[in-house]
Homo-oligomer: A and B are copies of this chain.
Amino acid sequence: MKNRQVTMKDIAKRMGVSSVTISKALNDKDGVSEELKAEIKRVSIEMGYRINTLAKSMKEGYSYNIGILIPERFTGDLQSFYMKFYNQVSKVLENYNYYAILEILDKKDEEELNFPRIYSENKVDGIIVLGQLNNDYIEMFQNIDIPNVFLDFYTDNSQFDSIVTDNFYGVYELTNYLIKLGHTNIGFVGNIHSTSSIQDRYLGYYKSLLEHNIPLKDSYIFKDRDDYGKYLDIELTGDLPTAFVCNCDQVAYNLIRRLNSLGYNVPNDFSVVGFDDDIYASLTTPPLTTVAVDVKEMSSVAVKIIIKKIKDKTAKYGRILIKGNVIYRESVNRIDCYSKS
């Protein structure tokens, strides 16, 4: 058994007042004289009082916990990206006096459509889902009667609120930047049938071309992975563009190594840009111009929304796009300037 904690009752007894008065004083509510309030606070510290949030929570009907649900497959070795989110969300929640509870949803539970345990056991007031769930599971989520928000992915079912990085706009900005530097032969590296975020990035690239009256060339679309996500050797034969827009930094990293091994130099022979600003962006030589996902802002918004939804169950937000930040580094050159960077 736990050793007995100091309770409000103990303070009350010692001070000869009621525990109601203690509660009011410690919560800065009206109905206690300022002097008594100050004295109560002093004594409570002296006695080493710590509030029992469990009791408070039960009375109020709120746990002051938010669940963060991450499908197991996003927790592998290199997926530290999601942990960054978790970290940030957890930090933001503090400002609202909330805590984050992580649940990793294992494959089996996801397939068998079992409710998250944090939900079944009423551990949380709301759930932030981090990382794409399978469709059936998402459908099931509609039956969950606590607020939820999807972070970093979305679904076509408009019932759900989601917060995603603006893939489209980010690549659009990057491509505009390349064009401004004189590039007109610009390739896109990625399997445009693989994930919806790669697709959106591709469309941002395409929009930039459209706006500048640059025709889209099939031969400038370079497949980087098969439809199962397995990386392929990028085919670099025939007519090549002067700049490559890669769907992510890791692919840019692979591409640059590939180009190097063929005797090319980046950015002198080819300009290359990525997306994500993850560790690969700084491991390439030269470091990559890329788009940094705004983890901080996205996390803040996710928390704000879930807290609002807890207070107002009917609130709806839909799909919220958060702009990333273009990070300018040395992997890009003006097209008319082949002198070294």
Would you call A83 an interface residue if the criterion is a C-beta within 8 Å of the partner chain's C-beta atoms? Answer: yes
Q: Please, which residue of chain B has its CB at the minimum distance from the CB of A51?
A: B121
Size of the chain A interface, CB-CB below 8 angstroms? 45
In the bound complex, do residue A2 and residue B123 qualify as a contact, i.e. CB atoms below 8 Å apart? no
Q: Please, which residue of chain B has its CB at the minimum distance from the CB of A57?
A: B54
Residues of B within 8 A of A78 (CB): 279
A123 and B57 alpha carbons, distance in the complex (Å): 11
A103 and B93 alpha carbons, distance in the complex (Å): 10
In the bound complex, do residue A5 and residue B122 qualify as a contact, i.e. CB atoms below 8 Å apart? yes
A119-B50, A279-B279 given; A90·B61 CB < 8 A:
no
A77 and B54 alpha carbons, distance in the complex (Å): 34
Q: Please, which residue of chain B has its CB at the minimum distance from the CB of A117?
A: B94
A256 and B257 alpha carbons, distance in the complex (Å): 16
**A124-163 residues at the B interface, CB under 8 angstroms:** 125, 145
**A25-45 residues at the B interface, CB under 8 angstroms:** none
In the bound complex, do residue B104 and residue A3 qualify as a contact, i.e. CB atoms below 8 Å apart? no
Q: How many copies does the complex hold?
A: 2
Closest chain-B Cβ to A272's Cβ sits at a distance in Å of 18
A1-B61, A50-B122 given; A101·B104 CB < 8 A:
no
Closest chain-B Cβ to A142's Cβ sits at a distance in Å of 14
Residues of B within 8 A of A100 (CB): 101-102
Would you call A251 an interface residue if the criterion is a C-beta within 8 Å of the partner chain's C-beta atoms? Answer: no
Residues of B within 8 A of A198 (CB): none
A61-B2, A78-B279, A100-B101 given; A122·B54 CB < 8 A:
yes
**A1-18 residues at the B interface, CB under 8 angstroms:** 1-3, 5
Residues of B within 8 A of A83 (CB): 80, 83-84, 86-87
In the bound complex, do residue A53 and residue B123 qualify as a contact, i.e. CB atoms below 8 Å apart? yes
In the bound complex, do residue B61 and residue A58 qualify as a contact, i.e. CB atoms below 8 Å apart? no
In the bound complex, do residue A58 and residue B52 qualify as a contact, i.e. CB atoms below 8 Å apart? yes
Closest chain-B Cβ to A151's Cβ sits at a distance in Å of 16
**A73-118 residues at the B interface, CB under 8 angstroms:** 75, 77-78, 80, 83-84, 86-87, 90-91, 94, 99-104, 117-118
In the bound complex, do residue B90 and residue A145 qualify as a contact, i.e. CB atoms below 8 Å apart? no
In the bound complex, do residue A313 and residue B58 qualify as a contact, i.e. CB atoms below 8 Å apart? no
Residues of B within 8 A of A104 (CB): 87, 90-91
In the bound complex, do residue B53 and residue A55 qualify as a contact, i.e. CB atoms below 8 Å apart? no
In the bound complex, do residue A118 and residue B99 qualify as a contact, i.e. CB atoms below 8 Å apart? yes
Would you call A167 an interface residue if the criterion is a C-beta within 8 Å of the partner chain's C-beta atoms? Answer: no
Q: Please, which residue of chain B has its CB at the minimum distance from the CB of A72?
A: B91
20 A-B residue pairs with CB within 8 Å: A3-B145, A50-B120, A51-B120, A51-B122, A54-B57, A54-B58, A55-B58, A58-B58, A65-B101, A75-B87, A77-B84, A80-B83, A80-B84, A86-B102, A87-B102, A90-B102, A90-B104, A94-B103, A94-B117, A101-B101
Chain A contacts to B: CB under 8 angstroms: 1-3, 5, 50-55, 57-58, 61-63, 65, 75, 77-78, 80, 83-84, 86-87, 90-91, 94, 99-104, 117-123, 125, 145, 279, 283, 313
A sample of 14 more A-B contacts (CB under 8 A), given A50-B122, A54-B57, A86-B102, is: A1-B61, A2-B62, A51-B120, A53-B121, A78-B279, A80-B80, A83-B84, A90-B102, A90-B104, A94-B117, A99-B101, A99-B103, A279-B279, A283-B283
